[in-house]
């Protein structure tokens, strides 16, 4: 096994936006979110954003989601290309799930590009299932989005899945 990577997961602040925009532009191309969009989201009372930094202080990933009654909706998730395939996105999903458990949020939903196989596999690992399609959802190429949902995360089956996945994350990351 390789050395574990130290990371810090904290709530995103406005001072993080410049680094987020750098990752966002690479991850999502010319149709990425603007500075104003992120400022608005960070100040949105139903939104929650977490960022991942390494010990040098560099921001390497982020996740955003809305909490609406008993449902969370993932709005964005991206990882710096140099840190992909290192379980960073998983750590962010686990952090979001922890937040959902603490706030009695039962279900999680998201849209993902139909062609984004690595993301789809990651979401499936966390119990998301595709329950529909949004035709032509993405503006840049009119690509369809899969609509994915979890079952009730408070169910025994889902809790077991969550705990198994979190345990595996600990094999790769030291989360502070």
Could you tell me if 87 and 52 are in contact, meaning their C-beta atoms sit under 8 angstroms apart?
A: no
d(CA 87, CA 92): 9
Distances (CA, A) of 63 to 66, 97, 156, 160, 162: 11, 12, 26, 23, 18
Question: Is 123 annotated as catalytic?
Answer: yes
Catalytic, out of 24, 41, 90, 111: 111
DSSP letters of 40-60? Answer: HHHH-TTEEEEEEE-TT--EE
Catalytic, out of 49, 123, 126, 162: 123
d(CA 165, CA 94): 8
Question: Is 11 annotated as catalytic?
Answer: no
CB-CB neighbours of 43 under 10 Å? 9
The catalytic residue positions are 111, 123
């Amino acid at each position: 096994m390789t050395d574990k990577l130290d990371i810090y997961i904290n709530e995103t602040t406005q001072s993080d936006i410049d680094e987020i925009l750098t990752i966002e532009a690479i991850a999502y191309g010319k149709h990425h979110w603007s500075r104003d969009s992120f400022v608005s989201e960070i100040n949105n009372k139903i939104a929650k954003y977490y960022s991942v930094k390494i010990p040098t202080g560099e921001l390497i990933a982020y996740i955003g989601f809305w909490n609406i009654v008993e449902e969370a909706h993932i709005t964005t998730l991206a990882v710096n290309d140099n840190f992909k395939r290192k379980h960073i996105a998983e750590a962010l999903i686990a952090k979001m799930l922890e937040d959902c458990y603490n706030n009695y949020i039962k279900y999680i939903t998201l849209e993902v590009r139909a062609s984004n196989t690595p993301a789809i596999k990651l979401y499936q690992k966390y119990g998301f299932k595709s329950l529909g399609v949004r035709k032509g959802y993405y503006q840049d190429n009119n690509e369809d989005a899969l609509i994915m949902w979890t079952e009730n995360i408070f169910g025994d089956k889902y809790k077991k899945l969550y705990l198994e996945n979190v345990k595996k994350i600990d094999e790769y990351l030291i989360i502070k």
